[in-house]
A = this chain, B = another copy of it.
Amino acid sequence: MEKIPILRMGRFLLVTIQVDMHDRLAMQLQEDLTNAITKYNARGVLIDISSLEMVDSFIGRMLANIAGMSRILDAQTVVVGMQPAVAITLVELGMSLPGVRMALNVERGMQLLQQSLASSEGALLDENHQ
């Protein structure tokens, strides 16, 4: 079971991280996720980390990498479900997770993605009209 499942929800992909991440698993997830974005023409990625009781620099870098790769493929990444204690530790350690957007839970994350998708498509329409 050494593979993190990627669930498709309309134009978004949902990943729930519940196992200890290690190098190979993180690489596999990044590869699977980029493949899934192109295959399903996804516009957003939701990563749920509500089971993680600790986010270290390795996980932080993985989240930033995923956000970066998704951005290049024209999909936005939102990390949801961070535990309060994790947020406290992150700030105390000076890790700011640059380029990664956050939301309280999956529902709010999906709203955030839908809003930014709608506004980016609106901007595209405006451009075409000019």
Q: Which residue of B lies closest to A2 (CB)?
A: B51
* Beta-carbon contact of A20 and B7 below 8 Å: no
For A, the interface residue count at a CB cutoff of 8 angstroms equals: 23
Binary contact track A44-55/B, C-beta < 8 Å → 1, others 0: 000010111100
CB-CB < 8 A to A16: which residues of B? 5, 7, 16, 18
Chain multiplicity (copies)? 2
Asked if A53 meets B106 with Cβ closer than 8 Å, knowing A7-B48, A16-B7, the reply is no
CB-CB < 8 A to A9: which residues of B? 9, 106-107, 110
Enumerate A10-48 residues with CB–CB distance to B below 8 Å: 10, 14, 16, 18-20, 48
List 19 A-B pairs, Cβ < 8 Å. A1-B19, A1-B53, A3-B51, A4-B51, A5-B16, A5-B48, A5-B50, A7-B48, A7-B81, A7-B105, A7-B106, A8-B105, A9-B107, A10-B107, A14-B14, A14-B106, A16-B16, A16-B18, A18-B18
